[in-house]
Structure 1
Amino acid sequence: MKADLRGNPTQISLQNPSLFNNIPQTSLSGALKGCLGSLDGACIEKLLLHCASALESKDATLAQQVMWVLNNVASLVGDPNQRLTSWFLSALISRASRDCPTPMMSFNGRNSIQRRLMTVTELAGYVDLIPWHRFGFCASNSAILKAIEGYSRVHIIDFSITHCMQWPTLIDALSKSSEGPPLLRITVPSCRPPVPPLLNVSTEEVGMRLANFAKFREVPFEFNVIVDSPSTTPCEMISKESHSFHLESLPSQFNPSMLKLRDDEALVINCQNWLRYLPDDAKVSTTTETSLRDAFLDLVKGLNPRIVVVVDEDADLGTASLTSRIATCFNYLWIPFDALETFLPKDSCQRMEFEADIGHKIENIIGFEGFQRIERLESGSKHSQRMMKAGFSSIAFDEETLGEVRSLLDEHASGWGMKKEDDMLVLTWKGHNSVYATAWVPSSFEDN
């Protein structure tokens, strides 16, 4: 049971109970029979787990029965439980169509996830909707500003899915420096995970807009894009089939020559919702046990950065077990659905688009396996253990940073909060962890 949405669930009556008259009741488990009258969040979760178990055992008949029940509950314009159920049902149907040997019947609840390209203005509104991304921007920028004090040159290597939306605020803060702003250089890789939000302009155009803003704020600025392959087109980079998004090219890009590193600059590595897309079960080569995720951290450490900032969602979604992933995913992703309910009407296009992007994530977590499943999130505590094992030491967020994050959260609904877990800063909704932020330095850097 999770927060208000789980602890005080709305009873959802079945809209058309006659749909289930032709389902052989003797084949239903006791748990399923108990869910045929009305459905709350806990019962929906139980149904999802039954369906997952049926799919894993190739029991198409039971999977169809459960989906019929879920289909009668799911609604894209209902309450948060119904809306979340709709996206889970869509993911399960997608998986069932591939996994079950018999044809699956059609369901009204299946959604078509539209991956629309946003304008820069629309993306700004998307980011501002709830503090899901802004929390990480605020905590990271504050930590970065503290780490680069006294440097006349700053180089940020940015790994992010939000198209540099973090940097206007940092540029504005640098413009107000009493000692004058440093020269700011931002480098981004051309490869990007094929996930929303998607933008209707190129990375180079984003850089030009940042350069214009920096010029307006009188901050010296450079923007560089590392092109991983001359034969790769922008369309191929965001294609649904490009699940590896050219990870194999990262080692060749991550060297001082390619990055044009300079001895007199403060190097910053910024990872916002990025590390999860580096597979932890894929090895760098057949001759080593090092995963791509750990290899990436080794490359980062080798650059000896002034600070490494990592922000991501605080849940474990990398397990091989489908039932485990469904349980964790359902009890985590209710948070944004519940938060959006507090201030946007049920038929809000902005709300439905934000939820559709979450639905895209659910589709990948539930509907795919192997190299096609790129959503392999790990919790903040596991991430911290990984960083320490890789040779990094954590940096605590200071009181000034905490104050800035509190001010940010005051702009949003009262359900949002913040807490510290050791050196990790965590965004909460109704007391439940949603997003974590951490800051690190190589242990050798700290010793110096």
Structure 2
Amino acid sequence: MNFFGREDHHHQDLNINSDDMHSNNHTSTSRSSDSGEPSHDSRWAPKLLRDCARAISDGDSPRIHHLLWMLNELASPYGDCDQKLASYFLQALFCKATESGQRCYKTLASIADKSHSFDSARKLILKFQEVSPWTTFGHVASNGAILEALEGETKLHIIDISNTLCTQWPTLLEALATRNDETPHLKLTVVLTGGSGSTGAGSVMKEVRQRMEKFARLMGVPFELKVMSGLNHLGELTRDGLGVHEDEAVAVNCVGALRRVRAEERGGVIAMFRSLNPRVVTVVEEEADFLSNRDDFVEAFEECLRFFSLYFEMLEESFGATSNERLMLERECSRNIVRVLACGVDEEEEAERSERGRQWSQRLKQEFRPLAFSDDVLDDVKALLRRYRPGWSLAVPSPDDVFSSGIYLNWKDEPVIWASSWKP
């Protein structure tokens, strides 16, 4: 997820047919039967949503209208997990049915972008990290791999391509400060692209720089932070632009970054990473495939529903029912769902198209070799997961699995995050 933005607007009923639509108290826990009529069941939303997706795929206008009407009556962004799921998927389905996805997404993104503030974004990220390992899992794994790969070097250069406001790096700075050998000089280059390179994000990064520099002084680590903005996409990155020097030990850290690269450009971006001659490349992505099925709407919908159902369930069990942070994360999800299901791949400049770990592994193996996480790093990850509520676990693929590299964060035995480490 992209945690830069926040959005404070309220859900609005979709004006599918102004004569038919009216609000209600959203207290129903019904589910649609095959006839389209409600029947009592605790999980009604997935059935209704699937029926609607199939109707859209079939171009069945009367059924589309009927199902959108039902969903609009039952959905609520303030209800239980089913009502929330229905609410946010309803928006995407309506946009798909009316071919208004691109316009809707740009409106939602603009609202979020205008609401950027360092304090709100920082509070959101830190609270999410407090209650869930969704982001900290990748941070701990990546930091461990980077520290081991750069052991003994005196000039470090980490190229950070992520969107978590540098919350990954204080623990790494602390680790550098407590090493027995000479404390190295760390240069951190933060790359902002597209929407994340906006004016709002730039002002946020000014605050981040001040805090990072203050913390580095406290830790006694020679530190330099460079923010690289103004890029439309990662394909514009070059070695010269990144200011990489021959005497630096380079690490490339990609957290949720590669999915923002167009499919046809991913190989080129990975090759550019290789040209930097890095000691290590760390890649963390969400475990979902929104690319290979993009031409089959029903299949794309099923994968989107599977992944975001897990995410919404995780949020429901991690946050309190009235948590503002939870609502903000769910609204961020709603934008991502619209982008995946209702925006054409060629329409959205930053069309996020996730792939699964196995798919990323095959791409990365064109330029790199997988670097297994050490037992020490795996122990650190296990210790991290013990800090959170039950339900989280670490999965390490078998050494005999030639298709997949890295490790997985599981939520209730379902993989949701993939973390990996690579070397030339």
TM-score (norm 1): 0.77
CA shift for structure 1 position 367: 1.9
Q: Secondary structure at the match of 1:435?
A: strand
CA gap 1:99/1:273 in 2 versus in 1, 3 angstroms: closer
Structure 2 Cα separation of the partners of residues 370 and 265 of structure 1: 38
Superimposed CA distance per residue, residues 321-379 of structure 1 (whole angstroms, 9 cap, x where no aligned partner): 22112101111112222122224332221211121111221121122113334120000
Q: Which has the larger radius of gyration?
A: 1
Superimposed CA distance per residue, residues 404-444 of structure 1 (whole angstroms, 9 cap, x where no aligned partner): 111111111111111102441100111000001000012xx
Is there any run of 5+ residues in structure 1 with no aligned partner, and where? 1-18, 21-29, 101-110, 229-244, 281-290, 443-448
What is the aligned counterpart of 1:263 among 246, 252, 259? 246
Task: State the partner residue of 1:77.
Answer: 78
Structure 1 Cα separation of the partners of residues 137 and 75 of structure 2: 31
> RMSD of aligned C-alpha atoms?
2.6
Structure 2 Cα separation of the partners of residues 190 and 343 of structure 1: 29
What is the aligned counterpart of 2:364 among 366, 377, 387? 387
Amino acid at match of 2:157: H
Task: State the partner residue of 2:189.
Answer: 187
Structure 2 Cα separation of the partners of residues 134 and 193 of structure 1: 23
Q: Secondary structure at the match of 1:173?
A: helix
Is there any run of 5+ residues in structure 2 with no aligned partner, and where? 1-19, 22-31, 102-106, 399-404
Output aligned runs, 1:6-405, within 5 Å: 32-33=34-35, 36-41=38-43, 44-98=45-99, 115=112, 116-120=115-119, 121-122=122-123, 123-194=125-196, 201-228=203-230, 246-247=232-233, 250-251=235-236, 253-255=237-239, 257-280=240-263, 291-318=264-291, 319-373=294-348, 374-388=351-365, 390-405=366-381
CA gap 1:112/1:261 in 2 versus in 1, 3 angstroms: closer
Structure 2 Cα separation of the partners of residues 375 and 52 of structure 1: 20
Does residue 435 of structure 1 match 2:417? yes
Q: Secondary structure at the match of 2:53?
A: helix
CA gap 1:130/1:207 in 2 versus in 1, 3 angstroms: same
CA gap 1:193/1:424 in 2 versus in 1, 3 angstroms: farther
In the alignment of these two chains, the number of paired residues is 373
Contact 2:158-2:187 at 8 Å conserved across structures: yes
Does residue 426 of structure 1 match 2:405? no
Structure 2 Cα separation of the partners of residues 366 and 418 of structure 1: 30
Structure 2 Cα separation of the partners of residues 346 and 362 of structure 1: 22
Structure 1 Cα separation of the partners of residues 100 and 316 of structure 2: 34
Superimposed CA distance per residue, residues 306-326 of structure 1 (whole angstroms, 9 cap, x where no aligned partner): 000000100101222221121
Structure 1 Cα separation of the partners of residues 347 and 290 of structure 2: 14
Amino acid at match of 1:413: R
Contact 1:45-1:327 at 8 Å conserved across structures: no
CA shift for structure 1 position 134: 0.7
Larger deviation: 270-279 or 204-213? 204-213
CA gap 1:208/1:112 in 2 versus in 1, 3 angstroms: closer
CA shift for structure 1 position 194: 4.8
Instruction: Calculate percent identity across the aligned residue pairs.
Output: 30
TM-score (norm 2): 0.81
Larger deviation: 178-187 or 308-317? 178-187
Structure 1 Cα separation of the partners of residues 273 and 197 of structure 2: 23
CA shift for structure 1 position 112: 7.2
Contact 1:55-1:99 at 8 Å conserved across structures: no
